[in-house]
Chains A and B, each alone.
Chain A
Amino acid sequence: LAKTTQPISMDSYEGQEVNITCSHNNIATNDYITWYQQFPSQGPRFIIQGYKTKVTNEVASLFIPADRKSSTLSLPRVSLSDTAVYYCLVVFVANYNQGGKLIFGQGTELSVKP
């Protein structure tokens, strides 16, 4: 499973756009890039997943360059409630028979200030 590298922490202010970049130099052809969000004392929650170019949903956007060796999670106009840890994962989506494992790194602790 590809290893990911992301900043340990980031600070932002309410209303700003936050971009969290993740490096995954060893990503394989069949791997997808997935982001989870975790609030204190809760389990992680799926945010977004993509393979290449740009993916957008009601929560975030995910930008993936052509070489796919990195990705950027973009959170528009953050609020205090977006304070959480954000995990970048590289996932081989079709590995159900092998267990569908997710390997979490240390994540990025985002702190949004008023």
Chain B
Amino acid sequence: SQTIHQWPATLVQPVGSPLSLECTVEGTSNPNLYWYRQAAGRGLQLLFYSVGIGQISSEVPQNLSASRPQDRQFILSSKKLLLSDSGFYLCAWINHRLAGGNNEQFFGPGTRLTVL
């Protein structure tokens, strides 16, 4: 079965510090991978998505970046965190072959980031 991992689960960082959040998927190959952010309540904002190794698409301009060094690994980074980067970060994946073509995305447990 497929499993998605995110770490750390929670993180408290000072303004201006770097960030690295990691997401890995097990039990599938060549997934599409996604990073979302949810700030103070609901409403998920799509930040980045990747359809393959080294392929990153950015949805919104910001001080965050993403990388996909391996097929099942997706990393969210920042060189200098802002207060507005606080939020709940979710990684998601889809393998359309297994999903039967309904674009069902599977979400990880999330990382709660607080920037002070």
Contacts and interface: CB of A to CB of B under 8 A. Distances in A.
Interface of A: 32, 34, 38, 41-46, 49, 85, 87, 91, 93-97, 99-107, 109
Nearest to A49: B102
A93 B101 contact: yes
Interface string B54-91: 00010100000000000000000000000000001010
B43 A41 contact: no
Interface string B4-29: 00000000000000000000000000
B92 A43 contact: yes
A93 B42 contact: no
Interface in B26-59: 32, 34, 36, 42-46, 49, 51, 57, 59
Interface residues of B, number: 28
B102 A44 contact: no
Q: 8 closest pairs, A vs B, by CB?
A: A43-B107, A104-B44, A46-B104, A99-B49, A43-B90, A106-B43, A85-B42, A49-B102
Interface string B83-114: 00000101010101000011111111110100
Question: From DSSP, what is the main secondary structure of chain A's interface residues?
Answer: loop
21 contacts: A32-B102, A38-B42, A41-B110, A42-B107, A45-B107, A46-B106, A49-B102, A49-B103, A94-B101, A96-B96, A100-B32, A100-B49, A100-B105, A101-B34, A101-B46, A101-B49, A101-B59, A102-B103, A104-B46, A105-B43, A106-B42
Contacts of A109: 42
A96 B94 CA distance: 9
Nearest to B90: A43
Given A102-B103, A106-B43, A43 B109 contact: yes
